[in-house]
């Protein structure tokens, strides 16, 4: 997503890669759930997040939409995000994340964020968001916790590039066609189940939709 934020205002001024050490370790959060409350529509979900949430909860995308997630428009594209309408995430129970094993990528990274550039993206440490002082040093990839970090990062780059291409193309479309395109993206990448294996089907769908849209 395109965002105009001065990185120096919100970070320690450094950019990190997955093998770098970073002071992000909150030591199990110790009763804090700040980043699970009042986050508005900011925890946007990519298709892998929804795949993990449906697999972890046993709910369909539509069932998750009944309470835990919602749809909103981000830079012209309709995308799901974690629902905070009651002031907190629906997965937060007794101060703990019930979805911890299958939580979304943004939750995994926090207090890290992604900074996208021409080559892809790097991570940055948000210094004003997490109240834990003296955080521990930890390797970025260990903090994120996906076993295949290279595969995951390649997927994130692919999805981000697709989002940027879509945003660029939406500008030339009528309102009706924007709606049709958004429905197509949601159906292709979020609504249609992936079965047990996500990445192969994701890339297959990406290839087909790009051919269809001439991207």
Binding site for ligand SF4 (CB under 6 A): 26, 29, 32-36, 43, 82, 89, 91-92, 97, 99, 103-104, 107, 110-111, 130, 132
**Least distance from ligand SF4 to the Cβ atom of residue 83, Å:** 9
Least distance to ligand SF4, CB of residue 65, Å: 15
- Report the distance separating Cα 36 and Cα 83, nearest Å: 10
Tokens of 78: 């309709």
Q: Select 140 or 178, whichever has its Cβ closest to ligand SF4.
A: 140
Q: Provide the 8-state DSSP code for 58.
A: -
Q: Which is nearer to ligand SF4, 32 or 212 (CB)?
A: 32
Least distance CB 155 / ligand SF4 (angstroms) = 19
Helix (H) or strand (E) holding 65: helix 61-65
Q: Cβ closer to ligand SF4: 129 or 200? A: 129
User: Measured from the CB of residue 35, what is the shortest distance to ligand SF4 in angstroms?
Assistant: 3
> Euclidean distance between the first and final Cα of the chain, in Å?
17
Looking at 53-135, which runs of residues are DSSP E strands? 69-74, 77-82, 92-93, 96-97, 112-117, 120-125
Other CB atoms within a 10 A radius of the CB of residue 47 amount to 23
Residue placing its CB nearer to ligand SF4 in the complex, 143 or 162: 143
Q: Is 136 helix (H, G, I), strand (E, B) or coil?
A: strand
């Amino acid at each position: 997503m395109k965002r105009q934020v001065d990185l120096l205002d919100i970070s320690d001024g450094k950019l990190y890669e997955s093998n770098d050490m970073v002071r992000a370790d909150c030591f199990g959060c110790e009763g804090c759930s700040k980043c699970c409350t009042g986050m508005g529509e900011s925890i946007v979900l990519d298709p892998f997040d929804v795949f993990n949430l449906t697999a972890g909860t046993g709910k369909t995308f539509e069932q998750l939409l009944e309470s835990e997630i919602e749809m909103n428009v981000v830079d012209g594209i309709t995308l799901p995000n974690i629902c905070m309408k009651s002031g907190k995430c629906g997965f937060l129970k007794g101060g703990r994340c019930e979805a911890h094993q299958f939580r979304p990528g943004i939750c995994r990274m926090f207090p890290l964020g992604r900074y996208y550039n021409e080559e892809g993206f790097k991570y940055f440490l948000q210094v004003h968001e997490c109240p834990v002082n003296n955080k521990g040093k930890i390797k970025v990839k260990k903090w994120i916790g996906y076993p295949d970090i290279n595969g995951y990062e390649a997927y994130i780059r692919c999805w981000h590039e697709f989002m940027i291409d879509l945003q660029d193309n939406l500008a030339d479309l009528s309102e009706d066609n924007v709606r049709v395109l958004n429905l197509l993206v949601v159906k292709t990448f979020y609504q249609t189940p992936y079965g047990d294996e996500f990445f192969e089907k994701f890339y297959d769908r990406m290839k087909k939709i790009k051919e269809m849209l001439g991207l």
